[in-house]
Amino acid sequence: MLILGGDTPLGMSLLRILDQQQRHQYTAVSVAESRFKSERVAKKTIKRLSPDCLIDLRLDALSETREQLSDGDIQRTRWFGKACLRNNVFYLFQSSAWVFSGRVDQAPWSETDEPDETANLGRVRHASEQAVSDMTRNSLILRLAPTYSAQGEGVLVKMLQRFGRGERISLSDTQYFNPISADDGARVIAAILDQIASGSNNRGVFHYGSSERASYYEFGEAVFAAASQFANIDSGGVARSSDASQPKGDWTLSTQRIFDSFGIHSTSWRRLLAPAVKAFYQHQKVSKDHE
């Protein structure tokens, strides 16, 4: 298989699982390397490597690093989809809950709900999903809930860095989601790949999120509590945001279809949070020891 975005938090978690399982051979390409300049290069790469499946983890990582998602990223997705069609390659495209507007009356969002986010991040993700569907039917679009990890530049790392500086973070108590760890997301992808390799014909759109819904404030409280177990944090913490202009929102994803189709159970984000926080401080210690 070919993994685009092997250097992302989700990609690194997936590579660890694949290495442990030893059931699939893979080639991993970084996000930077996957930003091909032309369709010819993308097509030649897939033809040369001849993978049985393409795992595309690029877009969330680009938005995490604040790189501007653009029509060029949609075009690359179209190139990958066309190359997969021509070479009979299964295409797993990772998207996210941010294709939805967060309208409270719609949550939890199911696969039959139409993406309705009009901001650029949601628009590019949905357009990329459409490019995959238009190019090849031998594809699966996996929308993941917001993902946290000890690596990268995501929400968990940013919170822990701010707590380390003694900052008190104001977070919304009216915006909800069902977050997952990168390790849990990788577990789900690996389980799907195993079943596809065993002949599963499940294709289309699937959602995955944790079994627990939380507001940003509740998530931040849990992160601060976990951080207090591994670091001396004398100040900081979280507070409920007093910004009345923040709209209510709910990006919780329904996971019923992925359970019915693949037998994949949702797990608790709280159970996996402490290990991720511990890993963050371990990485920090290793970095300091090498300075």
| Segment 95-122, tens digit of pLDDT | 999 999 999 999 999 999 999 998 878 8
At 192 the pLDDT is 98
CA dist 147 and 238 (Å) reads 20
Q: Output the CA–CA distances (angstroms, integers) from residue 185 to 11, 68, 182, 284, in the order listed.
A: 10, 24, 5, 23
Residue 283: per-residue pLDDT: 86
> How do 175-177 and 249-250 pair as beta strands?
parallel
For a pLDDT cut of 70, what percent of the chain falls above it? Answer: 95
Per-domain boundaries in the chain: 2-215+241-289
Q: CB atoms < 10 A from the CB of 288, how many?
A: 8
Q: Comparing C-alpha atoms, which of 81, 59, 83 is closest to residue 70?
A: 59
Q: Which of the pair, 245 or 1, is modelled with greater confidence?
A: 1
Three-state DSSP at 213 gives: coil
Residue 291: per-residue pLDDT: 59
Residue 30 in contact with residue 6, Cβ under 8 Å?
yes
| Residues facing 4 on adjacent strands | 29, 56
First to last CA, the chain: 36
Least confident of 70-74, 186-190, 199-203, 279-283: 70-74
pLDDT band at 13 (very low <50, low <70, confident <90, very high): very high
Q: At which residue do the structure tokens 């990609």 appear?
A: 11
pLDDT at 225: 95
Strand partners, 28: 3
Domain 2-215+241-289 has CATH 3.40.50.720: yes
Rounded Cα distance, 70 and 74, in Å = 7
pLDDT at 69 over 80: no
Q: Give the C-alpha distances (Å, rounded to integers) separating 62 from 48, 65, 152, 228, 272.
A: 26, 5, 11, 30, 24
Q: What is the pLDDT of residues 124-172, one digit of tens each?
A: 899 999 999 999 999 999 999 999 999 988 999 999 999 999 999 999 9
The model's confidence at residue 64, banded by pLDDT at 50, 70 and 90, is low
Query: Quick one: how far is CA 63 from the chain centroid?
Result: 11
Question: pLDDT band at 278, cuts 50/70/90?
Answer: very high
**For residue 228, which amino acid is it?**
S
> What does the CA dihedral 99, 184, 173, 166 come to, rounded to 10 degrees?
-120
pLDDT at 174 over 90: yes
* Residue in 198, 15, 4 with CA at minimum distance from that of residue 93: 4
Model pLDDT, residue 65: 52
Place of tokens 């670091």: 231
